[in-house]
Amino acid sequence: MTRTEMEARVRELLVDLAPEFEADAIDPDEDLRQQLDIDSMDLHQLATSLFEVYGVDIPESERADLVTLRAIVDWLDAHVSR
C-alpha cells in the first residue's frame, strides 16, 4: 500500500465520521478537531477503524500529537507493515 493510498483511506474514514464534509476538502495540516468539529468519541472511532483496517494500535501517549491528517498518515507510514 502506498502512502497516497493510505492517505485516501484515512480521508474516507474521516468522512465516515463526519459525513457533512468532502474527503478531498480536508486540509492535511489543519487540526481535525477544529476542521471537522470532531470530539473524543469520533477520535475513538477513528482509532478503532485504524486498528481494524491496519492492525495498528496508536498508543495513548502519542494520540495528542496526531491531530492532523498529515500527522496520522506519517504515523501510519512509519508503523504499518507492508
> How many other CB atoms are there within 10 angstroms of residue 75's CB atom?
17
The grid coordinates of residue 7 equal 492517505
Q: Which is nearer to another protein, 47 or 71 (CB)?
A: 47
Q: Under the criterion CB under 8 A, does residue 16 sit at the interface with another protein?
A: yes
For residue 38, the minimal CB distance to another protein (Å) is 8
Q: Under the criterion CB under 8 A, does residue 20 sit at the interface with another protein?
A: yes
Q: Under the criterion CB under 8 A, does residue 27 sit at the interface with another protein?
A: no
Q: Which residues bind another protein (CB under 8 A)?
A: 12, 15-16, 18-23, 33, 36-37, 39-41, 44-45, 47-48, 50-52, 57, 60
